[in-house]
A and B are shown apart, each in its own frame.
Chain A
Amino acid sequence: MNEKELIAQLFKTEYRKIISVLCKLFGIVHIEIAEDITNDTFLLASETWGLKGIPENPTAWLYTVAKNKTKDYFKQHKTFSEKIVFDIKQNQNLSEEVEVDLSHKNITDSQLQMIFTICNPIIPAEAQIGLALRILCGFGIDEIAEAFLTNKETINKRLFRAKEKLRTENIKIELPTENDVNSRLETVLTTLYLLFNEGYHSSTQKTHLRKELCLEAMRLNYFLIENKTTNKPIVNALMALMCFHASRFEARTNQIGEPILYDQQDKNLWNEELIAKGNFYLIQSASGNELSKYHLEANIAYWHSSKLENPKKWDNILQAYNQLLLIEYSPITALNRTYALAQVKGKQTAIIEAEKLNIADNHYYFSLLGYLYTDIDDAKAIWYFEMAQQKAKTDNDKSLLNKKLDDLKKKNNS
């Protein structure tokens, strides 16, 4: 591995650790100073390592530089240091000099606290995801912009506003109390869930970037599982869900990034290891009394990840969708539930229920009715698929619908 690759890799793993420790030390008010010092540290690494070669212990090298840069910063900025040193001494009874504590324990604690700080309901979900990508995943502004299909300026503004909000509200970098952990954890999990979905369903064609988003969500989720405070059944349920979905990564797009529908996927490309992990976390999640939407979604994903045809499969999926809708309504869940209903009780029954749904602004609704009417009333099916095509937004969706229409028309002409 050359030094560029090594730095890129260390950036992914060490950036979040250093910045979390520094933020924790300075307070969220000075998050930008923490960012600057961390960025400078990596900049120095890329300058020095290129010339002098890679040091024996690159991580330790980064930590030493970060420590020294912090000391330098204190020396150069008298007022800042007086204020900070005063605050720190007040809080921690430290001796003369401020020491950056990059021990394993402090790194882990600081990171966990940073997750809770960033995933704070006072800032909008989109900004939480952006900040998480920036601070906890070491993503560049351009990468975040690409993931959100927007420009760098928008992302910069969004992140600036979010940091400003954390600053003015003077959010403490700390763990929630025992009583608050569950409700605060819910916000954290929502952010991770959205981050994962951003990668899984994003319309950007860059498959590599999309995968990275999903992997980051899984990494952060795994971090919560590793910590005793946050290793709750619901966290394991979300992890199981992500593992099952991620297992189909290689199978769900072709070489040029076009989606391949579930039915047409090459099951040999499904990742067995991730399916096994999904099963493991699903079992871990099955304790306690809570049946969260992540439990139900993981349960559905479990049935979809099974290669064997089980006669009970669709029964179980339908029941999980019923329960999911009772917890939280969403149009997509309603459509998926109706598809499952068709598998269990037949298309006729499903048509009656589908027509009650009234989700006319969604092309998937018309697409579903097109599917349900296929072989029952092909003329109607064609009409619905054509409606879906008018409403579809992406080229991928349009071309999938085109294919369906072609097949149907061919069938009816022959």
Chain B
Amino acid sequence: MIFRSEINESFGPTPEQMQGNIQHWMDWMGGIAAQGKMASGNRLSFEGKILKPNNVIADGPYAEVKEIIGGYIVVKAINIDEAMTLAEGCPILSHGGNVEVRSIVAVNS
């Protein structure tokens, strides 16, 4: 699952909001982990750089896109439909973002 949201220039939550937000994420991921269906995941920092052809380097991961990827998790699901069910209730949905659900291609297929 890849979490995307629109860039919000005025995004500046209070520490309490940040804390509450982290709890929402933890509760949601905890729910998936409680079903034994969590494989791994990472939250991505806002800092980053982009390397383009001819050694052109741009600052920020969101130079020319509307949406940025905030993080991803890998879940264990039999098919896309099951993974879509797991995605329900993801906190990003209440912040105008979306969850992109993709299946991982096995190495030798």
Contact = CB atoms under 8 A, between A and B. Distances in A.
Interface stretch (A127-135, A250-258, A320-328): A320-328
Interface in B1-58: 23, 26-27, 29-31, 33-36, 38, 41
A322 B27 contact: yes
Q: Is the contact region of chain A dominated by helix, strand, or loop, or is it mixed?
A: helix
Given A326-B38, A329-B38, A318 B33 contact: no
B35 A322 contact: no
Given A319-B23, A322-B26, A322-B27, A353 B33 contact: no
A338 B34 contact: yes
Contact of A356 (B23, B30, B35, B38): B35
A326 B29 contact: yes
B27 A318 contact: yes
Q: Is the contact region of chain B dominated by helix, strand, or loop, or is it mixed?
A: helix
Contacts, number: 45
Nearest to A354: B34
Interface size class of B (residues with CB under 8 A): 10 to 19
A357 interface: yes
Contacts of B27: 318, 322, 341, 345
A173 B68 CA distance: 54
B16 to A, nearest CB: 13
Nearest to A335: B34
B29 to A, nearest CB: 6
A345 B41 CA distance: 25
Nearest to A345: B27
B30 A321 contact: yes
A353 B23 contact: no
A272 B38 CA distance: 39
A357 B34 CA distance: 7
Nearest to A336: B34
Contacts of A337: 30, 34
A33 interface: no
A327 to B, nearest CB: 9
A320 B33 CA distance: 13
B98 to A, nearest CB: 22
A98 interface: no
Nearest to A344: B27
Contacts of B41: 326
Contacts of B33: 322, 325-326, 329, 334
B83 to A, nearest CB: 14
A329 B36 contact: yes
Nearest to B40: A326
A323 B34 contact: no
Contact of B35 (A318, A326, A334, A345): A334
Contacts of A412: none
A353 B41 CA distance: 21
16 contacts: A315-B23, A319-B23, A323-B26, A323-B30, A325-B34, A326-B29, A329-B33, A329-B36, A334-B33, A334-B34, A334-B36, A337-B30, A337-B34, A353-B34, A356-B31, A357-B35
Given A325-B33, A325-B34, A334-B35, 15 more contacts: A319-B23, A322-B27, A322-B29, A322-B33, A323-B26, A325-B38, A326-B38, A329-B34, A329-B38, A334-B36, A337-B30, A338-B34, A353-B34, A357-B34, A358-B35
